[in-house]
Amino acid sequence: MRYSTLFGKTTKEAPHDADSANARLLTQAGYINQLMAGAYTYLPLGLRVLKKIQQIVREEMDAIGGQEISVPMLTPKKVWEDTGRWGIDVLYRFEGAGGKELALAATAEDMVTPLVKTFAKSYKDFPILLYQMNDKFRNEARAKSGLLRGREFNMKDLYSFHLTQEGFEKFYEESKEAYLKVYKRCGLDAIVVKASGGDFTEKYSHEFQVKTEAGEDRVYVDKESGDALNKEVVPEEDWENTDKYDVHKTIEVGNIFPLESRFPDAIKFKMNDAEGNPQKIIMGSYGIGPSRMMGSIVEVHNDDNGIIWPKSVAPFHVHLITLGSKDDAVRERVESVASGLHDDLEAAGIEVLWDERDLRPGQKFADADLIGIPLRLVISEKSLAQNSIEWKERHEGDARLVGEGEIIAEVKTWVDAPMRLTSHE
């Protein structure tokens, strides 16, 4: 793609209420545009990143047996009344046509549980593992931190239904491993943290947290056992006990909950086992927010010049830059080499953003650093004089020259190489 045709360019302006690196950088780099507090439009660059994160999540959910569905987010009052949750604070409630009371879904246990009751006819149907990936709505008192806490946000929520505690626990552990794979593939080094089960269970739930100085959460790592604990499950008298705990600032990027039989019981949903004995349905909930992950990646992977995308989720693999020349013949050769390279890379399945604008080199390089595509290739009169192309990875300080004849193969090798987890704070 040619940068000149891209909708949404870089800007020096940041939202007046930008209170986080992700809100500022994603806006200035042309990834998102704020419609109102807690609600963002994803511009073409931003949507490319979000879709890549979603695809990674989808692949890992499919790998553990999840089946994707899509539940309406416009919901009737009754489903929330049946589970006793019509009055929860974050629910957007309003009156529809004919005076019917409706809500925008903040989550989907209340809809998925009766759906499973409708279709589950035998113990042989279990376990049932359903997930969806769509936007949710929560009436947050104070939306903040860009994509980290919004009123409309993208969420993958998976729900598991089991007839035995053993079956539930087995899948619960499988989901932990799947989540850790998601984060690793997206360039995040997440840790599993014990947290409160809330209103659903006396057992621990588990959060997935990423260490960063930009984080608002606090995780306590027990120096003796190595267990990571959310502040809410640490005794208050130990909150400042640095002899017992290593304390880290973190961002929560996902959570999994044992729901026990809370929602099936609310709608009188049981199932006979192989011996014909009625069994309670044991349920789990597994949430991960692709949009929140997008913001978290930026919080962890940035520097003073802009974003540093991991190549697995970057909007493009390569940021190709051409520099002009006063010599018409040289300028034509630069354009010709760049055009051929662009087409050859794309034909090889490598995504390229080509900045062919007639601007000063400094402005192009500043835009490239802000946008954060992981590999920058520069074609100029100077590089072509050595039959080479300048190669610079976004996280590195130095550039090097690669011969024109080797550049395609070297880019392919780089794209296919395993990704290293590093923090750029």
What's the pLDDT tens digit per position in 294-312?
Answer: 999 999 999 999 999 999 9
**Residue 190 pairs with which residues in a beta bridge?**
210
Look at residue 144 and give its three-state secondary structure: strand
Cα(116)–Cα(126) distance, rounded to whole angstroms? 10
Cα(122)–Cα(100) distance, rounded to whole angstroms? 35
Domains of the chain: 9-300 (3.30.930.10), 307-416 (3.40.50.800)
pLDDT at 425: 56
Cα(284)–Cα(377) distance, rounded to whole angstroms? 47
pLDDT at 201: 77
Q: Kindly give, in sequence order, each residue whose CB lies less than 8 Å from that of residue 125, ignoring residues fewer than 6 positions away.
A: 119
Provide the 10 A C-beta neighbour count for residue 95: 9
**Strand ranges, E, within 20-127:** 32-36, 39-42, 67-68, 74-76, 92-95, 101-104
Cα(32)–Cα(264) distance, rounded to whole angstroms? 39
Q: Which pTM was predicted?
A: 0.96
| pLDDT single digits (tens) 38-59 | 999 999 999 999 999 999 999 9
> Strand 245-260 and strand 205-211: pairing?
antiparallel
Cis peptide before 235 (omega within 30 of 0): no
Average pLDDT over residues 48-71: 98
Tell me the pLDDT band of 219, cut-offs 50, 70 and 90.
Answer: very high
Cα(109)–Cα(264) distance, rounded to whole angstroms? 10
pLDDT at 45: 98
pLDDT at 141: 87
| pLDDT single digits (tens) 176-210 | 999 999 999 999 999 999 999 877 777 899 999 99
pLDDT at 421: 65
Q: What percent of the chain shows pLDDT beyond 70?
A: 99
Cα(298)–Cα(185) distance, rounded to whole angstroms? 15
How confident is the prediction for the chain on average, in pLDDT?
95
Cα(242)–Cα(49) distance, rounded to whole angstroms? 38
pLDDT at 422: 66
Look at residue 285 and give its three-state secondary structure: strand
Tokens of 347: 């034909």
Provide the 10 A C-beta neighbour count for residue 420: 8
Estimate to the nearest angstrom the gap between the alpha carbon of 395 and the chain centroid: 21
Q: What is the DSSP string of 292-353?
A: HHHHHHHHHSEETTEE---TTT-S-SEEEEE---SSHHHHHHHHHHHHHHHHHHHHTT--EE
Q: At residue 157, what is the residue type? A: D
